[in-house]
Amino acid sequence: MENFYKFLIAATLLCAGIMPCKATPVLWGPAGVSATTGYLDATLIPISTGTSPVRYTNVNGAGYDVVVTTSALGGSGAATYLNDEGWWFQGSPSSTSTYSIITFRFYATGTNTPIGINGTDILFQDAESDELFGGFSYFDRSGTETPVLFNNPIFTYSYGANYFLNNVEASNAALEQSGTQTGKSIEINMTTMTISGFTIGAHRQTSVAGSVIMMGLGNLNVAP
């Protein structure tokens, strides 16, 4: 019994901020997976969520929800990249001058109260020169939005970057090719930051531009 009480005290301290919570991967999975196991069902995200964002509840049983909002994507669905599950999406078409918008928010489970999360690390695979991103911002632990330029060190481009509009827009400089290409990636590494979400715009600069594949969200834990 004494050991049991020691366990309870340790568990309480673990996520009370006195000791750090364990970081746990948050990955994409096929239809029907449960967010409580750390897998997000990529098939649930439509091209536009409207007033009904997709909510993944109690991710990894850690007391936070991942809420996804999309606007005017050219397409969206589950994908497999080198045997790992991902979420593919297309930005707005070249015939428009607007972005598709993708927003991920972290909230305390069952609420719309922002919660600080550590360890976010986003990787877009098959990212090529005609697949443009713009208007990136993150939300701090209180929910305040902060814009970030695409030449910020949190961004890594496997082929170097093409920057536009004073670094408000950027693409990976990899040659546009048909099909899924390996080694063409953009990483947004926010592992040293405590955030409650992020938002990014996507646009196809030409009619031949395709989609990108977003991999998992990183090894996440609730910030102390």
Each residue's pLDDT tens digit, 2-48: 342 333 333 333 444 443 467 899 999 999 999 999 999 999 999 99
DSSP H or E segment with residue 12:
helix 2-14
Inform me whether the pLDDT recorded for 109 exceeds 60. Answer: yes
Token digits of residue 214 = 């977003």
Model confidence over 55-108: pLDDT tens digits? 999 999 999 999 999 999 999 999 999 999 999 999 999 999 899 999 999 999
From CA 80, how far away is CA 116, in angstroms rounded? 29
The per-residue pLDDT for 13 is: 35
- Other beta carbons within 10 angstroms of residue 145's beta carbon come to 13
Tell me how far apart the alpha carbons of residues 212 and 15 are, in angstroms, rounded to a whole number: 35
Residue 156 predicted with pLDDT over 90: yes
Sequence-ordered alpha helix ranges (H) in the chain: 2-14
pLDDT at position 70: 98
In terms of Cα–Cα distance, which of 123, 111, 131, 127 is closest to 85?
A: 123
What per-residue string of b and e applies to 198-214 under the rule 16 or more CB within 10 Å gives b? bbbbbbbbeeebbbbbb
Q: Look at residue 172 and tell me whether its pLDDT is greater than 60.
A: yes
Q: From residue 35, how far is each of 41, 138, 217 by CA, in Å?
A: 8, 22, 13
**Using the 8-state DSSP alphabet, how is residue 184 labeled?**
-
Residue with tokens 């949190």: 154
At 21 the pLDDT is: 60
The CA-CA-CA angle for residues 33, 187, 72, to 5°, reads: 65
Which tokens belong to 51? 């007033």
Single-letter code of the amino acid located at 27: L
Q: What is the mean pLDDT of residues 145-172?
A: 98
